[in-house]
Structures are given as C-alpha cells and as structure tokens.
Structure 1
Amino acid sequence: MRCAVLGDPIAHSLSPVLHRAGYAAAGLDWEYDAVRVPAGGLGPFLDGLTTGWRGLSLTMPLKREALTLTDEVSGRAALVGAANTLVLDEGVLRADNTDLPGAVAAVRERYDGQVRSGAVLGGGATAASTGLALCDLGAHRVTLHARSPERAAEAAEAVRRHPSSPDVLVASLDEAPQADVVVSTVPASAQDAALVARCAEVPVVFEVLYDPWPTPLAASVGGDRVLVGGLDLLVHQAALQFELFTGAEAPLAAMRDAGEAALA
C-alpha cells in the first residue's frame, strides 16, 4: 500500500519518518513519501491516483481545500473546517481530522489537571483544531490572540461550533493571555521577548512547532510549568492516522523514538 504527506513546503516534514517507523514496527511492507502539492493542486493530484493508494496526510495549505474534494467528511473534520487525513477505501475518499484528538492526547500525556480556560496564539486552521481541543479538555472560555480579528474569524467560528457552547473571544496578539493553557501556533520568528513575557504566568504551554526547537516560548518554560511540544502533537496525530490507514494499533513508542532521533 502507498501513503504520503502532501503540502507546500513539504521537505521539512517528519511525517515520513514517523509513519515508516510505524510500518516497520508493525511488520507492514508499506510506502510513505512526501510530495509537494501547492494550493489548488490537491484536486489534480487526487484525480491522478492509481490503485494501491490507501492514505494521505495533509499539511498547509491543503487542509481546508480538501473538504470540497472528498466523498465523505467526518464529524470532527466538519467541526474544525479542515482535514489533515484522507483515507481511500474501495473507491470512496473519506476526509478526517486527527489534529483535534491528537492535540487532546498530547496535552493529557503531559498534564492531568483541570482546563477551565484556554488561549491560542494565531488564527489559522491549527488554531481552530487546538481551540476545539481545549474545549474537549474542558475549557469553557477560549481566546484567540491574532494580529487582526479578521484573520481569526474563521477559526473562532469553528471553536464556537463545539457542542459545549464555549465562550469564544478574539483578542490582539499584544494582549497577555489569561488561561490555564496557552497554545502557540505562531512562527518562532514572531516570538519576541515581549510575547514570551506575556505568557510567563500561564501554567501550561503547548508549542505546536517542532522545528526549530526549542522555540523562544518553549525555552522559557521552567519550574512547575508544563510544556507540551510539537513533536507530542505530531506523534499523536500521526498515530491516529496510522490506525485509520492500517486498521492496526499504532506503535506509538517506535514512532516517537524515530521522530526524536530525526530531530536530534
């Protein structure tokens, strides 16, 4: 069977490392590659697929584009408004989202305390999925901190669709987050000393990036504060994809070890 991760840029992706390690540990003779597909190119790529393809992982800028190109959309992909996973099953193309449950699993692996409120730095598709994950973790209030309210409007609307009916606010990126958990989806280059200082009182920091590592925000976490890293998210969402693709339990430890080795 063939699988791949699609996006643009894509050369930096660790997904091939994780999935190949999973296949090797499970004794599966499967392939997994990285393919550059720019915005607007997903439809032609899907049209050109031949027999033997089973699953596709999607990264930016294809996650929202995918929803209009599939036969079925899972409830969580519809909730987020983006798909990071496509499964080909006997001619039927199904869209799913493992970023949402993967984020929940990543936080719970590091932190078992209450999450009553959350803050997300950024306003894109990852902000939407992690904002919804905060709601799954128990947050009744989620604040999206973005450079402009317009940029975060789509993500805010996605979080408002959560069944718990959370209070969703949009604030400036220059405002200090007041939350139990802060999730950063902004580039490392945007994490200046002022932003890091504004987050200093938040007890749990979830940095979705894994490269470069550590980011300025991740490097600032010490003492009793909890750090959830981008590799945590990547491994958990990839493990869920592995299970959707193969129908087998994911070898999580082998996938994590491969990711850590590649980053080292």
Structure 2
Amino acid sequence: APARPGRKLGPVADNVGSAHRAWLDPMRTSYLASGLTLNELSIRVRFAKSKISELLRGVGLYPRWEIVLLLATELGMPNWPLYRLWSQAALEAHKSSEWINGCTDRITVTATHTTPPLDHGAFRELVENDYSLYAQVFLDDNQRDNAVADTFDRLWLSWNQALASHDLRRYAWNVLRTTVMARTPHRDGRPELGHAAFDTVTLQNLTDPAHYAQQLTETLELFTAISRLPDRQLDVIVLRRLCGFTHEAASALLGTSLATIRSDERHATRFLDSVIPPPSTEGTAP
C-alpha cells in the first residue's frame, strides 16, 4: 500500500466476530490500498476521524449502515454484497430487524454495483457446486447455503485482491474455508464432523439396529481422527474420501499441485491408519 502520513491504522479488536470481520477485513484492505489518510477520508465523508478509526478497527458500537455506505462509496466498494454481510453481522451483534431496517429505509442500498464482475460470475458458476459439497461435510443445509453465499460476497468485495493474488483458486478456497470454519462447531480447537458421519451412505443403507450402532461408532471414530488432521490434509481427505473428488479435481479446486495433493493424502492416510485400529479378525478361519 502507498505510504501515508499520520498514525498507522490499529489492528482489529479481539472481540470482533467472524460475521463482522467478513466485511470489515475487505474494507480495511480497500482503505489501505487507497492511499488515503484517515484525515482525508474524514473530510470526504464528513465524519469524525476518530469514529472512522474505531469503525475500521471494530471498536465501540456496531456501526450504522449510513456510515458504512459512505466509506464504501468513497473506497469504491460494491454496495450489495457489503450490505448482505453487514446485515448478517448486525444480527450477530444482537441488533433487531427493526434496527437494521431503520438504518436502511432512507437509503438506496443497491444504487450502484448491483451486478458482480463477469469473471467473478464465471468463477462462481465453475466452483459453486464443489464448494457446497465441501461445506455440506461440516454444516447443515441452511448453514451450508449461507456459508457459500457469504464466500462469494466476500470474494466480490475483494475481487481485485483475488485477481492480483498468486493463484485465484487458492485465494478463493481460503475465503471459503475461513467462512465455513467460522460456522462449524469446534471441540478442542478442531472442527466437528459428526453431522457428516450421520449422512454417510454406509449408515443410510443399514437397517439392523445392532449393525447400525457398531458402524456409527466406527464412523464417528474415523471422523474424529480426520478432524485432527492438519488443515491442508483435512481438506484433501474431505474432498477425496467424503466428496469423491479425483486427485486432479481436488488439485484444480484448491489451486495446489497434483504432487502436493497426493503427498498430503499419503501423510493423512498414514496418520489415520495409526490411530484407527484395523477390524478385528478374532474367530475367523485362517
């Protein structure tokens, strides 16, 4: 970002939630890339510099849409995805629907930038179904759809940064993963995959209660072990074993080399084999 005079913008406050950061981080990125100082931005939007600083750090009360829109317009950010993410974060901040509507009734939300860039739309059409398959492993249907929609809204807000990144696919995958994991229940710092365990084809085809209980126990043990994998290995195993992707398809989706995909799968499989004992053969004929 261009050098600028004045005090450096402070970090985002620790208590800022994931939904709030979904639009705040792209706004901070747009501000830092603009070359404007807080003082210059304050003059342009006619809002106190200290209040702008607080907004960009997530300090104080959750901001009203009027000031968010003023800043977004000055920074060249699209209105519609920003409004969607702002509204969701307002609900997370325990704001009522009446408060949200009261902020926006007097303002045209979708005045400009209502259509995403053509290449953003093409990219979404290419990967959206695959993103949904991944999200389904961790979330129920409603949460899955919201997470995927939020992912593309976040990408729309930071599309220039995504295009300028080393690999668009990897940049977008990191946005998806961050969005999905923010909604996923965690235990001991690791994501829970119990929801996916109940949806496995093996369990759905079992009708005997005893066999179902045994298979469920084994499946839950396996999914617990999968959740302990490092992030990259976890994603590869989820795509390969739970979503049915080929090595080539996983490589294309993650923006990672084919050799890396195969290496991550080998390491993950070795770990899973070490913590999940093989089926008992006691009492079987030699």
- Give the TM-score normalised by the residue count of structure 2: 0.28
**Larger strand fraction of residues:** 1
Q: Select the structure that is richer in helix.
A: 2
Q: Which has the higher contact order (CA 8 A, sep 6+)?
A: 1
